[in-house]
Amino acid sequence: MAKRAQSELCIELDLPALRELAVIFAEVVDCKSPFTHQHSLGVARLSRYLAEQFGLGEEICDKIEIAGLLHDLGKLQIPDEVLDKAGALDRHERSRINHHSYETFEILTRIIGLEDISRWAAYHHECLDGSGYPFRLQGDQLEFETRLVAVADVFQALAQQRPYREGRNSDQIREILVKMVRRHKLDPDIVAWVSVHMEDCYAQALHYLD
């Protein structure tokens, strides 16, 4: 299914093998910082769950799960002292953090067969109003699969306990997601469904993959 672009490194992988490799990369990324321990695994599980609930096909669900596993791959390029900074980030540090989604795109687009996965993974910080990054896409430029991963990313980050704060509860997460919809950041239909099924989504976000 996927292969490296360079002929001398051509290795074909089917979706199950690609998922196994993606889990390894996700664990490496998540272990890079104590602030995001197992974040990618939670995003992947919630992304797949949402895809299944919205009736997307099995192959699409597999790919969305892989996109969730790989969405923060670009953070491997960010210095540990920036990722682990407990205080407020300065302008340069914030810019460096934000660049990770572009790095994810650059890494994944070099692999033949991952075109859709690379978009769904790398665009998770894009917003419907065009204020996101790295490409400031908006509206119909953002596929439904991308919007699912974006909601899953925000949800998991809020639910997860971090060294500098407690995890948010379901009511707090719902309030934040609804505010983001009002500001045209997240897909309203996905957030509306999540708001009705908060406890199930909460369990998926924090019940990490084996």
Structural domains of the chain sorted by starting position, each given as residue range(s) with its CATH number in brackets: 12-206 (1.10.3210.10)
DSSP state of 13: B
Per-residue pLDDT of the chain (210 residues; tens, 9 = 90+): 555 544 455 667 789 999 999 999 999 998 887 677 789 999 999 999 999 999 999 999 999 999 999 999 998 888 777 776 666 777 887 777 878 999 999 999 988 889 999 999 999 999 999 999 999 999 999 999 999 999 999 999 999 977 667 889 999 999 999 999 999 999 999 999 999 999 999 999 997 544
In this prediction, residue 11 carries a pLDDT of 63
The tokens 């419907």 sit on which residue? 128
In this prediction, residue 209 carries a pLDDT of 41
∠ Cα 127 138 97 (to 5°): 40
**Polymer length in residues for the chain:** 210
d(CA 28, CA 20): 13
In this prediction, residue 210 carries a pLDDT of 43
Selected catalytic residue, list 3, 75, 179, 185: 75
> CA nearest 118: which of 104, 131, 138, 130?
104
In this prediction, residue 166 carries a pLDDT of 82
In this prediction, residue 102 carries a pLDDT of 93
75 labelled catalytic: yes
